[in-house]
Amino acid sequence: MRRIYKLLLAVSVILLMTGPLAYAEFPNNPIGWGFKKGREGKPADAGKPLEQLIGKYGAVYKGDPNKKDIYLTFDNGYENGYTDQILDVLKKEKVPAAFFVTGHYLESAEDQVIRMVEDGHIVGNHSYHHPDLTKVSDEKLKEELELVRSKTQELTGQKHMSYLRPPRGVFSERTMQLARDAGYTHVFWSLAFVDWNTDQQRGWQYSYDNIMRQIHPGAILLLHTVSKDNADALEKAIQDLKKQGYTFKSLDDLMLSGVLKDPMLY
């Protein structure tokens, strides 16, 4: 009996270490992403504490500040009629992008998701139900990510999903470790502005000016596809940035650039 008891105890310890409590050692205090905006070509700056934290978990928010590369990303929570216009511009200008999608988007905008992959863009994970990931269990977090991955594969054939953008930019060390263990790299951003309020669109110039004002070498742009301003400004912004010597690259290019291996880039 004593031997059986010891065996059961050992099994219990293993289950605890591989179950939800395995990540209890990682702090779960919510952290909201933020940074000092770039100006006049100078890179955005998240500050040393945040940079050290994301570096610890292999996340990114900008590329090499010495190279005029740009990484264009979009968040897709729901379809508002402008994604095809955006995809048309990207195709015309031969610009790669990453689209971070939710479950609602996958269920309601299948044609757009299929086209993203067919056009050579990256589809990333924005969680299925868009929750605050710091407030869900380990298993629920894994489920949120897997539902997006599997549905995307079902629609497009894309088997692997490597990039995660946490809903609302809220994260913790626990959620970052969970995501990394699931094979994801957190992708934050170094250029953004209020563009998601569909009832407060201000015209293409608003979007264009915000992009051009904050742009900097290595920028990861965050735009929302629900914005008419963004859709109408995108072509001119891309063309004018190219004239300034910028090159648009994909997140895969960023990963291959060695940015994660060189802390001096931050």
Residues taking part in catalysis: 75, 224
**Cα dihedral: 19, 21, 24, 28 (round 10):** 70
Give yes or no for a contact between 259 and 79, defined as CB atoms under 8 angstroms apart. no
For 187, residues 6+ apart whose C-beta sits below 8 A from its C-beta are 59, 60, 61, 73, 98, 100, 124, 163, 164, 165, 220, 251
What radius of gyration do the chain's Cα atoms show? 20
CA 260/CA 75 separation, integer angstroms: 23
Q: What angle do CA 136, 141, 142 make, to 5 degrees?
A: 155
